[in-house]
Structure 1
Amino acid sequence: MTDVSAESPANLEQATASRSPWQGAADRAEREHWADVATAVSQTLARDVVQRDRDNTPPHAQIDLLRDSGLTELLIPASLGGRGGHWESAFEATRIIARVDASTAHLLGYHYLNQACIAFYGHDVERQNRWFRRSIDERLTWSDAFNPVDPDLSLESDGNGYRLSGFKKFATGSSVTDIVITGAPASGGPYDGNLVIIGVDSRREGVEHLDDWDNIGYRTSDSGSVRFDSVRVTDADVVGVDRGDPFSTVVTPGVQLLFGNIYLGIAQGALAQGREVTLARRGAWFLSTAERYSDDPLTQRTYGDLVSHTAAVEALADSLNRRYDKVVERGDAVTAADRADLEVAIARLKVVANDVGLDVASRIYDVTGASSTRSGLGLDLHWRNIRTHSLHDPVDYKRVEVGAHYLLGTVQPISLYT
C-alpha cells in the first residue's frame, strides 16, 4: 500500500481562498450551451424511459450517455481539462433532464456533488488537482455511500494503509459509476481520530453492491445498498478530511438545491406531457359548452393554477442556483452566517418545490382524463418519482426549519440533511 503519512492532517494546511475551483458566474452562452446539451440528452432518454422504468434495469446506458455528452465534466476547471462551467448551468441541466427522467437527472446531480467533494473536503489544492485531472483522464463518474441513518463505517489502520468496512443503504448510482465517495473516522495511522473522506473504486475487491432497489419510483436510479468488506484504502483514495469548516458544509445545501431543481423539473415534465394529452383529446365533457377539452374554462383554470405555481418555484430556483455560485466561489472565506442564510433559503425552495411537484404530478390527471392512466403512456412516472424521492428527508422538518428561523432566528444543527 502507498504510504499515507506524507499528507497527514498536519501537512494539509494549504487552505486558501483558491481552494474553491469555481469562480464567477455563468454567462448566457454557457447556460444556453448546457441547456441544449441537456435537452438533447433528455430527448434520447425519452425514447425508452417508460420501458426502462418498467424493466428496472441498471442505468449503465444512461451513465454512458451523460459521460459522452460532456455533462459529467461541466464543473471541472478548464485549466485542468474540464469544461469550466458553473453550478447554475449544472443545476439547470439536471432540471431539464428531470422533466423526462428524474432517475437519470438524480444520477447526474449526485455525480456533480460527489465529484465536488474534491474541493469541499480537499484542503490541499494539489490533491484537488490530481483528483480533477484523474476524473478527466479516466472519464470518471461519481456516486456516494453517505446515508447518515446507517451506522458509521469503520476505517481501521492496516500497515501503511487502511481497511474500510460497513454497510450503507440508498447508495444511489454506486454500482454503475466509477468512484463511490464515503467517509469514516480513522482508527490508528496518520489520520487517527479524523473523519476521512475517501473515493473508492466501485469495483474494488470487497465492495459489494446488493442490487436491492425495487421501489415504486426512481426505479432506474440504482439506489440500492452497498457493503464494504475490509476494502483496501490507500493514500491515492483520500479526498480530504472533514473539519466541519463552513465551506465544506456548503455541499449539503447543494444537495437540497439539487432536490428542489429535480422536483421542479418533474412538475414541468408533467405539465408538458399533460398539455400534449389535453390538446389531443377529442370533444369535451358532455356538460361543457366548449367544443374541445382545451377550450373548457375549467381545464384552462386548472392549467392556469398549476402553471403559475410552477413558474413561481422556477423563479426561486433560478435565483438560488445563481446564489450558490456566489457562495462557493468564496472558498474558505465562506462564513457560518453565509452558510446558514443559504441553508434556510434553500429549505424554502425545498418546501414549495415539494408541494408544487406533488400537486402538479397528481392534478394533471384532472385535465387529461381516464385514458391518460394507461400504463404505456407513462404519465404516472412523474408522480411515482416525486412521491418516492420526496420522502428522502421529511419536508415537515424543512417547514419547521424555515418557521423557526423566521420567528426566532434559529438555525438547525449542521448535518447531512440540513
Structure 2
Amino acid sequence: MSVQDDARRFVAVAQEVGRVFAADVLERDRTGSDPLPQLDLLRESGLTTLLVPSEYGGQGATWSTAVRVMRSLARTDASVAQVLAYHYVNESNAGFAATPEAGERWYRTSAANRWIWGDSVNPTDPDLAFEPAPGGWTLRGTKRFSTGASAGDVILVSGTVRGGDDDGRGLTVVVERTRSGVAPLGDWDALGQRQSASGSVRFDDVLISESDVLAWAGDEPFGTLFTPAIQLSFGNLYLGIAEGALAQGVDLVRERRGSWFLSTAEKYRDDPFTQRIVGDLDARIAAAEALADRVGDDFDAVVARGSAVTSEDRGRIAIDIARLKIVTNETALDVANRVFEVTGSSSAKASTGLDLHWRNIRTHSLHDPVDFKRLEVGAYVLNGENQPISLYT
C-alpha cells in the first residue's frame, strides 16, 4: 500500500473519531478535565500505533500521514489532537534518539500495551535533576507545561545528572504516570487547549533504573529530528484549527436568514462582502495546505535517510518547517478571528462555540515565539545560517 493510500485510510479513521469528539467538545472544554475517554477511543481506533514500525507491532505509517491525522482531528478538537501530536513525537524518540536495541524494546512495549506518551521535557525548567543512587538515579524537581503527562500511560522525562561519573549529562527516561513520586499538579488553566492534559508535574524522589533510560543527550543530526517533528506537528495543528473555524463559519453563514438591510443580496451567503471574506480565507488555507503537504513529504524523505542524515539535511528541513509554522500561525489566527465578520452577532453566543477555535490557536501559538521562526528563516536566506540545535529549533 502506498503512502497516499495509507494517508487516505488513516485520515478517514481520524474523521470518524473527530465526529465523535465534536458531539461534546464544548462541554469538555468548559470542564477542562483530562480527556481519558477520548484517549481510549484513539487507542481503539489504532491511531496511537501509527508511527510504530510494522515489524514491532505498529502501523508503520509515515510522518506525512501522522500530521494529516493530527490536522483532521484539530478541526473539531485541537486539545486532543495536541495530545496525540505530542504522543507521536515522544514515542518517536525510540526511533530517533535511542539505540536500535533500546528503540525496538520501547516500540514493542508501547505497541503491545497501546501506550499514550506524555512528556515532561520543558527546557525552560532546568531544575529537574537525576541524582545517582544504587542501581540508577533518584529523580527530583518540577516541570511546567508537561503535555499529556496527567492522562498518558507513560511520561518522557528529561533532566540533568547531578553528581557521579555522568555529572552534567542530559538524560531522557520513560516512567509510568502512576509510578510512586510522580505527581501531576493539575494547574493548567489556559483560555484554550483546555483538554490537552497539560500542566506541571512534580517528581518526588522517583526511583529510576537503567531499564527506564531511553537515551542520553546528543547532537547527532538524526537523533535530534524530534524537534523538527514537533514543530511540523504544530504547523499542522494550527492548519487544522483554521480549517475547522472556516468550516463551522461557512455552516453558520448558510443557516443565516435574510441579509443586512443595506445589502443588495437576499441572503447573507449571496452578499459580495461575505463571499469576498470567505474566498480570501479559503484561498489562504488552501495555500497553507499545499505547503504543509509538501513539507510533510520532504520530512518523510529526511527521516528515511536514517543515520545518513547530515547537519545540512537537518538544517534545511528545519527551515522549511519554520516557514510552515510562520504561515499556519498567522493563517489560523486570522481565520479564527475574521470568520466572525460573516457569521454575525449570534455566532458570539457561548453555546455556538465558534470562539473555541480562536481560543485554541491563540493559546498554543504562544508555545514558542513565532517571531524567532521569522528570524531563523531570514538568517538562513540571507547568510545560510542555522540556529543551534535545541528543543525549539
Aligned partners of 1:113 and 1:254 also within 8 Å: yes
> Which residue does the alignment assign to 1:138?
113
Q: Which runs of 5+ in 1 are unaligned?
A: 1-24
> Which residue does the alignment assign to 1:403?
378
Equivalent of 1:87 in 35, 39, 63: 63
**Is 1:256 aligned to residue 226 of structure 2?**
no
> Which residue does the alignment assign to 2:392?
417
> Which residue does the alignment assign to 1:119?
95
Alpha-carbon distance between aligned partners in 2 of 1:184 and 1:52, rounded to the nearest angstrom: 33
Alpha-carbon distance between aligned partners in 2 of 1:189 and 1:136, rounded to the nearest angstrom: 35
AA matched with 1:395: V
> Which residue does the alignment assign to 2:43?
67
> Which residue does the alignment assign to 1:164?
139
Alpha-carbon distance between aligned partners in 2 of 1:57 and 1:230, rounded to the nearest angstrom: 27
> Which residue does the alignment assign to 2:327?
352
**Is 1:97 aligned to residue 73 of structure 2?**
yes
> Which residue does the alignment assign to 2:282?
307
Alpha-carbon distance between aligned partners in 2 of 1:184 and 1:390, rounded to the nearest angstrom: 25
> Which residue does the alignment assign to 2:34?
58
> Which moved further from structure 2: 168-177 or 180-189?
180-189
> Which moved further from structure 2: 25-34 or 95-104?
25-34
SS of alignment partner, residue 233 of structure 1: strand
Alpha-carbon distance between aligned partners in 2 of 1:356 and 1:186, rounded to the nearest angstrom: 42
> Which residue does the alignment assign to 1:293?
268
Alpha-carbon distance between aligned partners in 2 of 1:233 and 1:65, rounded to the nearest angstrom: 31
Aligned partners of 2:128 and 2:140 also within 8 Å: yes
Q: Which runs of 5+ in 2 are unaligned?
A: none
> Which residue does the alignment assign to 1:333?
308
Alpha-carbon distance between aligned partners in 1 of 2:367 and 2:101, rounded to the nearest angstrom: 35
Per-residue Cα deviation, 1:50-100 (whole angstroms, up to 9, x for no partner) = 110011121111111111110000111111111111111110000000000
> Which residue does the alignment assign to 1:19?
none
SS of alignment partner, residue 84 of structure 1: coil
AA matched with 1:402: V
**1:191 CA drift (Å):** 4.9
Equivalent of 2:181 in 172, 194, 206: 206
> Which residue does the alignment assign to 1:377?
352
**1:152 CA drift (Å):** 3.5
AA matched with 1:156: E
> Which residue does the alignment assign to 2:201?
226
Aligned partners of 1:242 and 1:248 also within 8 Å: no
Q: With structure 2 as the length reference, what TM-score do the two structures score?
A: 0.98
Alpha-carbon distance between aligned partners in 2 of 1:48 and 1:105, rounded to the nearest angstrom: 15
SS of alignment partner, residue 70 of structure 2: helix
**1:242 CA drift (Å):** 1.8
Aligned partners of 2:256 and 2:268 also within 8 Å: yes
Task: From the superposition, tell whether residues 232 and 26 of structure 1 become closer, same or farther in structure 2 (CA, over 3 Å).
Answer: farther
Alpha-carbon distance between aligned partners in 1 of 2:3 and 2:129, rounded to the nearest angstrom: 44
Aligned partners of 2:3 and 2:62 also within 8 Å: no
Alpha-carbon distance between aligned partners in 1 of 2:284 and 2:21, rounded to the nearest angstrom: 27
Equivalent of 1:388 in 363, 367, 391: 363
Alpha-carbon distance between aligned partners in 1 of 2:313 and 2:252, rounded to the nearest angstrom: 45
After superposing on structure 2, the runs of 4+ consecutive aligned residues of structure 1 that deviate more than 6 Å are none
**1:195 CA drift (Å):** 1.8
Aligned partners of 2:3 and 2:61 also within 8 Å: no
Aligned partners of 1:26 and 1:85 also within 8 Å: no
Alpha-carbon distance between aligned partners in 1 of 2:197 and 2:377, rounded to the nearest angstrom: 32
> Which residue does the alignment assign to 2:86?
110
Alpha-carbon distance between aligned partners in 1 of 2:265 and 2:206, rounded to the nearest angstrom: 67
AA matched with 1:411: N
**1:414 CA drift (Å):** 1.3
**1:400 CA drift (Å):** 1.2
AA matched with 1:76: V
Per-residue Cα deviation, 1:259-316 (whole angstroms, up to 9, x for no partner) = 0001000000001000100000001110111010000111000011000011111000
Aligned partners of 1:161 and 1:189 also within 8 Å: no
SS of alignment partner, residue 205 of structure 2: strand
SS of alignment partner, residue 141 of structure 2: strand
**1:229 CA drift (Å):** 1.0
AA matched with 1:304: G
RCO higher in structure (CA 8 A, sep ≥6): 1
Alpha-carbon distance between aligned partners in 2 of 1:41 and 1:152, rounded to the nearest angstrom: 39
Alpha-carbon distance between aligned partners in 2 of 1:326 and 1:406, rounded to the nearest angstrom: 22
> Which residue does the alignment assign to 1:128?
103
Aligned partners of 2:284 and 2:331 also within 8 Å: yes
Q: With structure 1 as the length reference, what TM-score do the two structures score?
A: 0.92
> Which residue does the alignment assign to 1:318?
293
Alpha-carbon distance between aligned partners in 2 of 1:45 and 1:139, rounded to the nearest angstrom: 20
Q: May I ask how many residue pairs the two structures share in their alignment?
A: 393
Per-residue Cα deviation, 1:299-352 (whole angstroms, up to 9, x for no partner) = 000011000011111000001111111111111111100011011111111111
**1:193 CA drift (Å):** 4.6
SS of alignment partner, residue 339 of structure 2: helix
> Which residue does the alignment assign to 1:16?
none
